[in-house]
Chain A
């Protein structure tokens, strides 16, 4: 069973809209979280990291972490067609930050122009 589950599996939003992606872990050893984006034919690229409870904003992207519930979310405002890609939540254990990532199941985002 996957230790990091994402929802929804796929998501379609209109250009300019808000996309909300969710990630839940079943392993309390995971303390550090990243959001990666993968465009077709490319490797994943880190969008942002979040290690503390609360919100973290970088441009149009806002991540939220609730360690008690092991829930991480990513919100993309003013979505652009170029945001269409696979989005992965990735988690790492304490003391192992960034070395070994456990990836989630992925969300496919389509932004309709």
Chain B
């Protein structure tokens, strides 16, 4: 089956520091990877969409300078939250899709970021 793993599951960082999170697709080829943030109120925000062989597209209010993303192959992606502050807290979700075989996005369990 198609599975998505995310590491770490939880992380705490001090205000102004950075942290990196990883997303691993198993059982399918992650030709596109979308990173979302789910707020404590459970609403979703799309941060950026990364598609193999295309530039990473960031949504309004999110920038590469703040959330640099790497998508080096069809099974792995990482995102860093630079200079984290309180408003960056939430559950960061990776949604991966295999264009050829699946219409849906498969999500990992998320990385919960707490900023002190």
Contacts and interface: CB of A to CB of B under 8 A. Distances in A.
Interface of A: 2, 34, 36, 41-46, 49, 86, 88, 97-103, 105-106
Contacts of A45: 107
B27 to A, nearest CB: 15
Contacts of A99: 32, 34, 49, 51, 97
B110 interface: yes
B40 to A, nearest CB: 13
Given A41-B109, A46-B105, A49-B103, A101 B46 contact: yes
Contacts of A46: 104-106
Contacts of B104: 34, 46, 49, 98
A49 B105 CA distance: 11
**Chain A interface helix/strand/loop/mixed:** loop
Nearest to B34: A100
Contact of B93 (A2, A44, A100, A106): A44
Interface in B16-64: 32, 34, 36, 42-44, 46, 49, 51
Interface residues on B, range: 20 to 34
Contacts of A97: 103
Interface string B100-116: 00111111111000000
B84 interface: no
Contacts of A34: 104
State the 7 A-B residue pairs at the shortest beta-carbon distance, nearest first.
A43-B107, A103-B44, A46-B104, A43-B109, A44-B107, A98-B103, A43-B108
A81 to B, nearest CB: 20
Contacts of B95: 101
A106 B42 contact: yes
Given A49-B103, A99-B97, 5 more contacts: A43-B107, A44-B107, A88-B44, A97-B103, A103-B44
B79 interface: no
